[in-house]
């Protein structure tokens, strides 16, 4: 394990050693609690040199995400979704070690829940989600179009393919 220690400017007081908040008025200040008035903060960073990806014992299957669900290999009955054979989702640990990355579990998430950044990068994608939902989607898991997420995945996959072919 390696260690780096360095004095850095205190972020709380911006290096002044003094704090002025909502209770300090008309030129009053108090000693910064983060740096005890020194203006500096002792930053300690400990790390191990990367020597290659290590093996994680006990893992048999690798998934891209759990999307907020409790997941495990085997057949799992998800509330509101039904039975999903998780052995057919993701990849084996051996495949992962060889470089294969798992895809999304499309039965558990819509594209917007699975990858918001990708959805927002596709022109008009999220606007169409909102149109299908019937307005602004405050919480993705409350989308009124949720039961049709397979159609959303088709739209998402087609958009991704179109971008790759450009």
pLDDT in tens, 20-69: 988 999 999 999 999 999 999 999 999 999 999 999 999 999 999 999 99
98 with 119, same domain: the answer is: no
Convert the pLDDT of each residue in 132-156 to its tens digit.
Answer: 999 998 888 789 999 999 999 999 9
70 with 27, same domain: the answer is: no
The overall longest dimension of the chain from CA atoms, in Å, is 67
**Which residue segment(s) compose the domain that 101 sits in?**
56-109
Nearest of 53, 69, 62 to residue 101 by alpha carbon: 62
What does the pLDDT read at residue 67?
93
154 with 132, same domain: the answer is: yes
pTM for the full model? 0.71
């Amino acid at each position: 394990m390696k260690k780096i220690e360095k004095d850095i400017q205190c972020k709380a007081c911006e290096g002044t050693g003094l704090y002025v908040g909502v209770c300090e008025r008309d030129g009053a200040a108090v000693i910064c609690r983060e740096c005890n008035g020194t203006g500096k903060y002792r930053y300690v960073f400990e790390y191990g040199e990367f020597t290659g990806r290590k093996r994680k014992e006990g893992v048999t299957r690798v998934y891209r995400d759990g999307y907020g669900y409790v997941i495990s290999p085997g057949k799992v009955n998800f509330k509101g979704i039904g039975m999903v054979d998780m052995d057919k989702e993701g990849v084996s640990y051996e495949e992962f070690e060889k470089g294969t990355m798992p895809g999304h579990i499309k039965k558990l998430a819509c594209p917007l829940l699975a990858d918001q950044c990708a959805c927002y990068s596709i022109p008009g994608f999220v606007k169409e989600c909102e149109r299908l939902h019937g307005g602004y989607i405050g919480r993705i898991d409350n989308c009124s179009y949720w039961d049709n997420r397979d159609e959303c995945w088709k739209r998402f996959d087609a958009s991704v393919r179109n971008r790759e072919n450009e």
